[in-house]
Amino acid sequence: MADRDRHRPLGVVTRGTTNPNRLRRVDNWLVETCGDRLRAAADPLVVDLGYGATPVTAVELRGRLATRVRADVRVVGLEIDPVRVAAAAPAADPPGLAFARGGFELAGLRPTLVRAFNVLRQYDESEVADAWRTVTDRLAPGGVLVEGTCDELGRLGGWLLIDADGPRTLTLAARLTTLESPAQLAERLPKALIHRNVPGERIHALLRALDDAWHSAAGYAPFGPRQRWLAAVTTLSSTGWPILDGPPRWRHGELTLPWQTIAPT
């Protein structure tokens, strides 16, 4: 293979839409669920893959991890669009925050954690598995990829935790004060699931069950949407859906399940 090809960023330039605090929900989840992994890492390197038109979400990720996980965390924002790499340069703050051109090959880095948000949404579903594999092959031992999608303001989102063996969990998350119905989460499923929300698929059954439980919990609405969500998730759990974590995370409007319970059939 020619040297030029070995270092060619893998992927394509897509729309650069981003927003301040758009990824706050997933960042908080990362702090809680991947914090120990980063604390134990010999090199606390994190890649924000595909940060978009401005580096704001990479800056925020570094701030959250440095404050709440470990001060010496190093976040590298990788973008496949060289114009966006140049635009991000003034926000760099080495060694804690840097920006570089790169794609799914991770520009030769071996991070413990990769956050790739709203990147695969514009790819074809058939490209997803290869993209995951390209990233996970390059992680540090024990490293993980968190790949997902959210709306422009980060009120609705869905993401997968993926390691060297493939996807492990799906998390759905909503800002409860603006949630009308959990069915809205269907629009923000990760790419691997968004086209599978059809009868006969497990993700469809999950969203139906969650929506039904939410409507059955309408009596909790006067106590606030958090109580209503907790009641809905408790019902879901009691009817056999293997909901992970527990009320301390559910109360944030989250729901996490093992991948195999919702994987495409």
Ligand X SMILES: C[S@@+](CC[C@H](N)C(=O)[O-])C[C@H]1O[C@@H](n2cnc3c(N)ncnc32)[C@H](O)[C@@H]1O
| Residues at the contact surface with ligand X, assessed by CB under 6 A | 10-18, 22-23, 49-52, 57, 78-81, 84, 103-104, 117-119
Say which amino acid occupies 159.
W
Q: How far is the CB of 43 from ligand X (least distance, A)?
A: 21
The answer to whether 30 and 47 have CB atoms below 8 angstroms apart is no
Q: How far is the CB of 193 from ligand X (least distance, A)?
A: 17
- Between 51 and 250, name the residue whose CB sits nearer to ligand X: 51
Bond prior to 95 in cis (omega within 30° of 0): yes
Say which amino acid occupies 73.
V
Rounded to 10 degrees, the C-alpha dihedral 33/35/38/40 comes to -100
- Between 194 and 209, name the residue whose CB sits nearer to ligand X: 194
- Between 25 and 228, name the residue whose CB sits nearer to ligand X: 25
Q: How far is the CB of 1 from ligand X (least distance, A)?
A: 19
Pairing of strands 74-79, 156-163: unpaired
Q: How far is the CB of 208 from ligand X (least distance, A)?
A: 28
**Closest residue to bound ligand X by CB:** 11
- Between 50 and 158, name the residue whose CB sits nearer to ligand X: 50
CA–CA dist 92, 83 (Å, integer): 15
